[in-house]
Amino acid sequence: MPGRLSPLPRMTKPSLLELPPGVQLVYLAEGGANVIYRFVPSSHLAVEDESRQPFSSSSSSSTTKIPHDRDPLIENSAVPLPAIFKGKLLRLRKQTASDLPYKEIVANFNTKIRPLFPANELVDQTLIRLPTDLIPHCNESLRAEERDGSRPAKRHGSYLCLSEPFGLLITDMTVLNDPSAATLAEFKPKWLLQSPSAPASADRCRTCALREMKNRSARGGKEVRSFCPLDLVSERFEDVLRAATFVRRAGGGGSEYDRVRLAKILFRNPTLRNLLSKQKSFREVGLLGPEVLSRENSLDMTLRDCTMFVKIPRDELSPVEIRLGDLDLKTGAGGKAQYWRDLEHQLIDGGWYSTAGSDDSQKHECALSLSRDEFKGNGNGNGNGNGNGVRSG
């Protein structure tokens, strides 16, 4: 890390923070497009850090934990953690094909996402200028981890963008600071209503149809079971409880939370209802989505691939914190618009919106299945925990 200049964040412009060199950083997780670091108070530096757990970035790919024997980003000289960084994580951008700068990502977030949700329902993100040599230092650390085998092979060769002068301060929804006090549930609500281009006779929703198609193509491998997103917004508590059985505790929590308690939290939850309302308003998806050559952003698809974080305190009298993350606007560029449209054609033409020809267990997972209540697999909680809509710890 560069030499210490100031323990306090400075303003480079009236509304822009600057990360002071010398603040202590510890790797937390990485995905295909970002690396997440957490700030560590100087009083914690002498303690062996065994609590590094995966955290969902706003990327579309999964995060990866790296087990460290050391962390070159921790300096011996301690700089007090400025109060503004408490409860925050630092997100740094990788060099990717999309190469979308953080300034544009934040501008999209401020103009498209913020107006849709109350501030307390969002994983916030704030632009912050970085010390000039922070990114090269972080990349050196990533390369060192490749050499010693501590960085997974699938992440080798991807590094932080040297031309990106900014990072993002994001709301810390982990429970690393006090794992015994709370548990984190983390999942993707996905499509909370049916695709507008699904056949009128469909007895599978879009998410369940896609999962079944992927399961069928993976026959011989491990199949995925997960919840039907329509259950999350059902008026029947037993449906919400069914969905809750598939949501596992995210890494870094204490004891496993009570499924019934989680279901009670999610039942008629205002944040879920708000997300459902926004999905109803933004329905240009499926065959109604962007044209195949479109390079435009799709708020409609973004709202169908966000992550919900539910921080559940052990003390049942304390408030539950619920926020939505992974809300960087999705773009049709790079062939994504073509992929979305082709995928919908596959689901329709392949008959995946129908349960006809499916075995009993797959036939009754979706809320649209008329005979689901007869299925005895209800509530057994045997999902493998990493299917559409579920991220497990």
> Rounded to whole angstroms, how far apart are CA atoms 187 and 217?
24
Strands of the sheet containing 166-171, edge to edge, are 10-13, 16-18, 125-129, 166-171, 88-93, 34-39, 25-30
Q: How many CA atoms lie within 13 A of 355 on its CB side?
A: 18
Structure token digits, residue 343: 């995928």
Stronger pLDDT, 224 or 267, i.e. the higher one: 267
Q: What is the pTM of this model?
A: 0.82
| Nearest CA-CA partner of 366 in 175, 191, 110, 131 | 191
Query: Which amino acid makes up residue 207?
Result: T
Provide the 10 A C-beta neighbour count for residue 145. 22
Q: Do 302 and 327 form a contact (C-beta atoms < 8 A)? A: yes
For residues 276-304, average pLDDT: 95
C-alpha 232/C-alpha 237 separation (Å) is 9
pLDDT range class, residue 15, cuts 50, 70, 90: low
Answer whether residue 63 shows pLDDT above 50.
Answer: no
When pLDDT is averaged across residues 171-200 and rounded to a whole number, the result is 92
391/382 Cα distance (integer angstroms): 14
In this structure, what are the phi and psi dihedrals at residue 264, rounded to the nearest 5 degrees? Answer: -65, -35
Could you tell me the pLDDT band of residue 67, with boundaries at 50, 70 and 90?
very low
- Nearest CA to 92 out of 198, 19, 168, 151 is that of 168
Termini Cα distance of the chain: 31
**Rounded Cα gap, residues 251 and 1, in angstroms:** 28
The two most distant CA atoms of the chain are separated, in Å, by: 67
Most confident of 38-52, 214-228, 323-337: 323-337
CA distance 338 to 290: 8
The encoded tokens of residue 189 equal 């609500």
What is the arithmetic mean of pLDDT over 293-299? 92
Give 10-171's CATH code, choosing from 3.30.200.110, 3.30.2000.10, 1.20.120.1730, 1.10.3720.10: 3.30.200.110
- Residue 238: per-residue pLDDT: 95
Report residue 220's pLDDT band, with 50, 70 and 90 as the boundaries.
Answer: low
State the pLDDT at residue 73: 54
Confidence tier at 44 by pLDDT (50, 70, 90): low
Alpha helices in the chain (DSSP H): 102-108, 134-147, 206-217, 229-232, 237-244, 259-266, 270-281, 299-302, 336-349, 360-363
User: Which of the two residues, 362 and 67, has the higher pLDDT score?
Assistant: 362
Q: What is the pLDDT of residue 256?
A: 55
Q: What percent of the chain has pLDDT over 90?
A: 55
For the cut 60, the answer to whether the pLDDT of residue 386 exceeds it is: no
Strand bridging mode 182-187 / 10-13 = unpaired
The amino acid present at 106, given as its one-letter code, is V
pLDDT at 359 (0 to 100): 63
Number of C-alpha atoms within 13 angstroms, CB side, residue 26?
Answer: 25
Share of the chain above pLDDT 70, in %: 76
Q: Write down the mean pLDDT value for the chain.
A: 81
Q: Between 183 and 150, name the one with better pLDDT.
A: 183
More confident residue, 365 or 301: 301
**For residues 196-218, average pLDDT:** 94
Q: DSSP of 38-52, one letter per residue?
A: EE--GGGTTS-----
Domain ranges of the chain: 10-171, 182-374
Residue 376 structure tokens: 């005895």
Highest-confidence segment of 109-113, 150-154, 257-261: 109-113
**Predicted pLDDT at 373:** 58
Residue range 351-379: mean pLDDT, rounded: 70
Over residues 326-346, the pLDDT tens digits come to 999 999 988 999 999 999 999
CA-based radius of gyration for the chain: 22
